[in-house]
Amino acid sequence: MNPEPNQPRTANRQESGDLPAIEEHDLPPGRHQFHKERLMNRIHEDRIAAAARPARNPFLRKAILLPAAAALAGALAVGALVVLPGGANGTDDRATGPVLTTTIGTVNAHGAPGLLDRISLAAAEADAPKGRAGQYVYIETRAAGTYVKTVGDKSSLVSQPLHTRQTWRSPDGLKGWLIEPGNTGPEGITLEGLDEQGNIPKPHLGAPSHDYLAALPTDPDALLRKIYKETEGQGNGKDQQAFTTIGDLLVESWPSPELTAALYKAAAKIPGVVTVDSATDAAGRKGVAVARLDEVGGQRTEWIFDTRTYAFLGERTVQVKGDAGEGGLIKPGTVVHTAAVMVRAFVDDVKVTP
């Protein structure tokens, strides 16, 4: 572990080191086809359905996820962001075990506006990501999850092992590549292609391109109105879906500092958003979280930030209320999904790393 685990640092290449291995399990039947459909349809996950399978869709527009981390002061160098793993003093609430579990953090129902204001100020001070014509946006994360696996008439709770996910996207979103153990082969798969109607996919909030993000409004009220409008009818209520959409952008894309700051300010206006005193990302980095509870499924999504720099570290979804999944196997304290943003950078081609 690095002696300064929570301090974001820049480097020519990620120096994250090895993370604890988690026993590997097969994905549930049909899971790969599910991913393919999600890619083609470009829609957000249904959080209730997610309780019965790995919570994150590796082919989602999240194929860009992670812009928020780059939005923080002092985190960028030569167009690349590298955040190293580590821990912090205090209660160990890192997800552990073949079935990922954690200590449930304490909520402050009134702390979100102040914290998000400080986070947005830090984000606005960052240097804007800059790339050359023909380059790709590269995003690297560490992720894991828990889901219900059914074989015959027997169901059990198993984990998606901690793994590295790598995505490459052209700024216009038309070309891309994904490598993710358990969901692609070692060489990965293309993210290029037509939609199910045979048309060129158009970027939108659920599957944004880098260029699309650059055209979004940076006024928080206008941005939140757009999010509500474009996600109407999705998820478990408009407020939960708005929070989910913003979180997806933070993890799966690379917005400008101005847009990132606006996303945080917009999130502060969503009813039910709270702070959590302690949360740990997939890389073992401890921080404070901004969160919202999905009352339908009992799962709380937490955005994790460094307590000193307010850098965005990652996101996790924890079962905190009631049981979920087939047979109620997902108990409170189960980490349904966890992801840590490790690297974001511009690179010259797919399969090329910083």
Q: Write out pLDDT tens, residues 38-73.
A: 443 333 333 333 333 333 333 443 332 323 333 333
Task: Evaluate whether residue 19 is within a structural domain.
Answer: no
Residue 40 falls within a domain, yes or no? yes
Residues in the chain: 354
pLDDT value at residue 93: 66
Domain holding 135, by residue range, is 31-347
Whole-number Cα distances in Å, 82 to 13, 232, 279, 296, 339: 7, 35, 20, 36, 15
The type of residue at 32 is H
User: How high is the pLDDT of residue 98?
Assistant: 67
User: What tens digit of pLDDT does each residue of 271-323 get?
Assistant: 999 999 999 999 999 999 999 999 999 999 999 999 999 999 999 999 999 99
Q: Would 241 be classed as within a structural domain?
A: yes
Instruction: For residue 22, tell me if it sits in a domain.
Output: no
Q: Is residue 278 part of a domain?
A: yes
Q: Domain for residue 155, yes or no?
A: yes
Q: At 82, which helix (H) or strand (E)? A: strand 80-82
* pTM given for the model: 0.74
How many domains would you assign to the chain?
A: 1
In a domain, 10, yes or no: no
Q: Is residue 21 part of a domain?
A: no
How far, CA to CA in Å, does 302 sit from each of 132, 172, 216, 265, 343?
A: 34, 29, 24, 16, 20
pLDDT tens string 78-130: 334 333 333 333 445 655 556 899 999 999 999 999 999 999 999 999 988 88
Query: 344 near 83, Cβ under 8 Å?
Result: no
The predicted-structure confidence for 256-282, as pLDDT tens digits, reads as follows 999 999 999 999 999 999 999 999 999
Tokens of 314: 């990652």
